[in-house]
Structure formats: C-alpha cells, structure tokens
Structure 1
Amino acid sequence: MATPKVETEKHGELNCWRITSDHAELLIAQQGAQVLSYQRLGEPPLLWLSDQALFRQGSAMRAGVPVCWPWFGNLQRNPQAVQAMFHGEQAPAHGLARCRDWQLLGIEGDGETLRIEFGLPEAQADLPGWPHNVELKFVIELGETLTLTLSSYNLGNDLVTISQALHSYFAVSDVRQARVEGVDGLGYIETLADWEQRQQQGDLGFIGETDRIYLQAPQRLSIVDPHWKRRITLQTRGSRSAVIWNPWADRARELVDMADDGWQRMLCIETANVWDDVVTLKPGATHALSVTIGSEAL
C-alpha cells in the first residue's frame, strides 16, 4: 500500500483529519473520534454527511458514525442498571462520548490496512456524573473495507453496565427505493407505536418515518440500493441489536442540521447494544463492539 496522505483540516470549530489511501478517503473529527465521511475512490459515498451538519464544539454532528457511549438514546429509556451508572443531573441523549475531544493515539500502516487509534482519557473516572474507570478506545481500520471497533475495558473494582451504538448514517441514492436485507423474521421494538414488540416480515422497505430496534440481529445486514447498483454490507461483532432509523419528510423539516429533503439520501443502521442487549463488565473485563462496512455491485 502506498503511504496514505494525512491532512489536518478545520471544519467550523472542529479539528479534523482527511486521510486518503489507495482505495478510499476518510474524514474524521477529533470531537467524538467521529468518522464524518467515507468514500471509495470513484464511487458514491458509503457514509452520509449532512450538507447542513453543524461543526460546533460540544454539539452533535449529523454525519458518518457518531459514537454513542456509555448509553444510547434517552437515558430514561435504558434499563435500570444503565441508568444507575449516571449520577449527574442532565443526561444528554446518546451519552457522554460523542461531543468530547478524543486523543489521537496513532496512525500506522499494517500491510494493506491503515490503523487509526483514538482514546478518551476522561472515561477513566473523569466524565461528569459518570464516576467509573473504563479505558475506552476506538480503532478505525481502513483497507478494502472500513472496520470500526469500540473497546471498553473496566479498570475499576465494580460492575459497569453500558448501552452503546456505532450510529452509522449510510448514503443511499433514494431511501424510498432502498431495502434492508437480513431482518426477515426478527422481533423488533416499534418505537413510533408506543414501543410495541412486533415481528418483521420480509426485507425492510421504507414508506414513512422509521425508528425500530431489531432484536437478536444477525451479524450480517445489508442495504440494497438499486439506482446506485450496489449492496452496502455490514458485518458486526459484539452486538445483538440493530437500530434502523430514517426521519422522513415531516421530521426532517424539524431538524436544523438536515436539509428538508436530506432524509431521501440517508439511512441509519446502528450497530448497538441496547434494550436487553446491554453490556455488563466485571472488573478487568473487556467488550468490543465492531462493524465492518463494505460494498458490492448488484
């Protein structure tokens, strides 16, 4: 592999790195260690970056892969064991990690793969309202595919219970034409209908706002995009739940960081540990949540 090109950039208030390899280009923000965009050379982007994303210190970015940790979504919707970990007053949606600056620990080549490693030292008993000692690392591996791995290592003396997600925004030509394979027969929580539990019949297509938690999800899911003639593949590890989300038209108009028609070009499939799939770490235990993103021609 030729030596990748690494450039530092400023987007709004945020420090970022643009990394170009033989195969692809990545844009990564220091805030949240968030991959903002991923595009294979000569192809449409695989990860979606909102053209109205806000690049502000301390604000979430609607782009790429936000890291949700040590809880996912609304803390009050989490199991009691996750809620009990937090002792603060204001619990931000999707946890405490995505709006903090992470530390770049290294960028190195490993054969045909480029490895980028981040850490969040504050997770070691220095997060506001969350006094637990966890070594938190996020590793990005760029080769023919993109692999993201979030590792939590309990350095403390007590049990730590977390929910978490790699909140991936995928780029599609038109979500109304796309479908998700791999969910047929799965139970899911329909959050838009009072959190009812239902069962999926066939592939998932999109005809309106979608916000579902799929349970006992398989390790492989994929997005079929007929217009771009490709299948985006997700191979996961350390996860039994997947959250699938699209805001559709009415909700998108309420989002200041998404164009009114932005919903047409994105689809979230979030590799997650949520609902009854939360992670409890004994002292000295480690858990890794991982997704490998690739694509293939239809």
Structure 2
Amino acid sequence: MAQPTFKQLAALIAIADTGMFRTAAEKLHVSQPALSEQISQLEYRLGARLLDRDRRGARLTPVGELIASRARRILADVSELDAVVRSSAENLGGLIRMGGLPTLGPYLMPYVVPVLHARFPGLRLYVREATGQALEDGIQSGQFDVALTVQPKAGERMRVMPLFDEALMLGLAHEDDLLREECINAAALNGKDLLTLEDGHRLTEQVKDIARQSGANILEDYQGTSLDGLRQMVGMGMGVAIFPHLYERSEIRNDRAVIARPLQSADAYRQACLIWRENNPREKDFETLGGIIAARAAELLAEG
C-alpha cells in the first residue's frame, strides 16, 4: 500500500485547524477540489474515515484526531531537517517561531529584540502569545520552535532552560491601608479581596495558591482578561492584585491610581524558562537565544 504524502498530512492538519475546506484550501494556496482529493486519497490509503462533513464544515473523527496528532509531529520533524542545514551555515539566523506568555513577553521582548537584531541581522523572530498549556502543546505539535513561559509542567520530549526568577508584587489603590508598609507580608492579605486573571493563566494558579495560604478572598466573578484590566479594577478600589515585576516596571510605575509593593512570601516569585522539543537540531541556537533573554532580563530587574 502506498504511504501517505506530506501534502496529504498537511491538508488534514489545515482542515483540523480551520474546520472548513474552503478556509483550509486558502491557507494552503490550493483549490478546494484539489484539497478534497488529497483528503480522499489519504482516507483511501489509511482505510479509515478521518473527517465528518456537514453543512457547517468538517471535524475530525476519533481516528482522525489520532492521525492529525501524529501528522503534526511528522511534519514538525521534517521541517527540522531544513533547520539542520541552516544551523550549520548560520549563527542564529533564519526563522524562529516563538510562543510567549501574555503576562511576560510584552514586558520583556521589546528590550530583547533590538539586541537580537543588532547581533543577528539574519534572524527572523515570529512571536505569538498563548497561555502556558497552549505553549507546551504548541511545542509538542510543532506549532512553535521555542516558547518563553514560566514554571512549565513536565512534558514528554521537552527541553527546559531556566532563565531567571521574577518577583511578584502587590498592586493596591492609593487609599489602601496596606500602603503604610514598604514590604507587605502575604499574611496581611487575610480577608482581602484579591483579583485574578481568568483561569488558564499560570499566574492565576500562583495567585490562587497564595490566596489559599494567606486567607485572601478570590473574586471569581471579576476575573480579568489581561493585566491591564486587573490594574484598572485595582485603581477603582475593587480589590488588590498580584503583578509580575516586569509588568510593574513597565506599566504601574507611571499609573497614578495604583501603587505596587514587594510581596513577602516564599511563593511570591516565578521562574521564567525557554522550552523546546528534545533533540531539536537548533538546540544550540535556542540556548544562545535563552542566554540573551536571561542577560537582558537580569539588567532590567537589576534596575529595580
């Protein structure tokens, strides 16, 4: 029996990602009939129905889910063959697809990118934000080459490079009584209303742990969709919130409505890491990238 082709696997993944034959065809720059033929040939070669089709589009069957997952890994491995050649010929050049946390990347990478561009003009860095679990899934599927995250959960075939520790700080409205202290012990949060980001963020998990230990009240009905949203709610006196140091440095210091104080707790920090798939041929490049990110972060955090 003939083996599936890379084009057929790419067609399946495109439909899985978009849910529509027409959109998938546009994404792959092929006609819709040509895409349908690729899927038909793939189903014939595997002897299984991979998609359920209806008027609303197409969705993977249970077998299709398994095949699509394996197809992502296969195509990711194939794409790394080209990286082998680039890595041997260039010093941190070519395209790197990088994922990043929305609570970290925007407040660090603008200081890193100019350094990268000056040292490696041939580098193209494509950055996309996602939550922690989505970043780790994206590394495994090949969507991302590397990801800037915090305290990643152990995953199969994943390399973790610790970069730096970032303190967590408490944001308070100007009239809050806790501002009498220059450094606030987490125990002082007992009975306080504590605002968080919506579920799915690693920062939310940490804040809830601190709340459980300190006796703070998590305001489940007022979860923020962004750190900026949290800061605005704090400024309106709706509660206090915990912010990463780099965000505080970038956004809170110039905010007249909110003041941040260091938070004294064994858990009031997070470890930033760079992650990628094990045995990636560009591992040395990623280590170089991680070293530059860590050095720039150390400079920013040392400034206070």
Q: Same fold (TM over 0.5)?
A: no
Structure with a larger share of its residues in strand: 1
TM-score category by the smaller chain? under 0.3
Q: TM-score, normalised by structure 1?
A: 0.26
Q: Which of the pair has more CA radius of gyration?
A: 2
Q: TM-score, normalised by structure 2?
A: 0.26
